[in-house]
Amino acid sequence: MNFILKYRHQLIITSILILLLCLFMFLSPRTFLSSGIYSAYMSTIPFTAVLALGLTLVIVCGEMDLSFPAVMAASGFVFSIVFIETGSVFLSVAAAVFTGGLCGALNAFLIVKIGVPSIIATIGTQFFIRGLTVLLAQGLAKSLIGIRDTFGYQILSGRIADFIPMQFVWLVILTIVFLLILNSHVLGDRIRFTGDNANAARIMGISVNRTKTFVFIIMGVCSGFSGVLVCSEMANWWPTQGEGFMLIVFASVFIGGTSVFGGKGTIYGTFIGSIIISMIEAGLVSAGAQGLWTRFVYGIVIITAVSFYAKTSDKKIGQ
């Protein structure tokens, strides 16, 4: 019983995933009883899931980040330029991830040092970073077709046994790392305490400013790496890269059980939430529904999930 109460949100989100999968298997057996759809899922889910992992830490810390789509585009642009100039995938990845971290540091500076609320600061940096990237690119896309002939491409986006995409392997590795950070490391305690009550965290000796700086830099790094994965898989970069990711990334985090008020979150829930969000659209289309239904169903799932979590949270139970 204690196990069920402790992990009730994880059990619930896993049950939702299984029920959805069974429903789509029943409605569209030709699609969901074949292996091809799952390989396709594993190639695209990491794009949003990597972003959602980083955003989970930010929200647990009691902050918000709305700039990650632009950071994703900026990092992808740097990745493409460095690759075109050098032909080195590894150097390009390092440059892109560094760019993402730098953008995260800019957000942290505005929020921690200047004192701008995170939602306002990251709206501003979203416009600034996206605008600067488009200006530098002169609004033109970058072709990376030569990347598929490199060893680095196999490391980033190759296929294991012609089925499992490498980007999904990277996602699993990152999920484990984030699980350890949030649940088994002192950093995770600092992030939760900061998000729950920053003043109390300071009294306990926690460096709130350092903790917030850390989560924003990590969010930037995740955005940069997600941009790399998209560019590598598509062998292309385009100025609008990252647009359309914001809502589904937030949906993945909140469906997974992370509290919008900070102080509590689950990496496992975010991982499963990303899978659910990615599955819905393809499942609806395969079942014969129009794509117009997608956002409507997203809304139902999100409202139902967050309402349930609000009703069954520890605070409610204790009342």
Is the pLDDT reported for residue 116 higher than 80? yes
pLDDT at 88: 95
Give 278-316 pLDDT, tens digit per residue. Answer: 888 778 877 777 767 777 887 887 787 777 777 766 544
**Architecture (CATH level 2) of domain 10-312:** Orthogonal Bundle (1.10)
Percent of the chain surpassing pLDDT 70: 95
Q: CB of 111 within 8 A of CB of 121?
A: yes
Rounded CA-CA distance 39/42 in Å is 5
Buried b (16+ CB within 10 A) or exposed e, 195-218: bbebeebeeeebebeebbbbbbbb
Q: Give the rounded distance of the alpha carbon of 212 from its chain centre.
A: 18
Q: Which of 157, 179, 154 is nearest to 168 (CA)?
A: 157
Stated as kind and residue range, the H or E segment containing 67 is none
Report yes or no: 101 and 221 within 8 Å, Cβ to Cβ. Answer: yes
Per DSSP, 257 falls in state T
Q: Which of 139, 136, 110 is nearest to 220 (CA)?
A: 110
Query: Helix and strand tally (H, E) in the chain?
Result: 16, 4
Q: Is the dihedral of CA 158, 161, 162, 164 positive or negative?
A: negative
pLDDT, tens only, 227-279: 999 999 999 999 999 998 998 999 899 888 888 888 888 999 999 999 998 88
- If one compares 8 and 163, the residue with the highest pLDDT of the two is 163
Within 10 angstroms of residue 300's Cβ, the number of other Cβ atoms is: 11
Evaluate whether 273 touches 9 at the Cβ level (below 8 Å): no
Q: Residues 55-82: pLDDT tens digits?
A: 999 999 999 999 999 999 999 999 999 9
Backbone angles phi, psi at 164, to 5 degrees: -90, 115
**Given pLDDT bands bounded at 50, 70 and 90, which one contains residue 4?**
low
Question: In whole angstroms, what is the distance from residue 231 CA to residue 71 CA?
Answer: 14
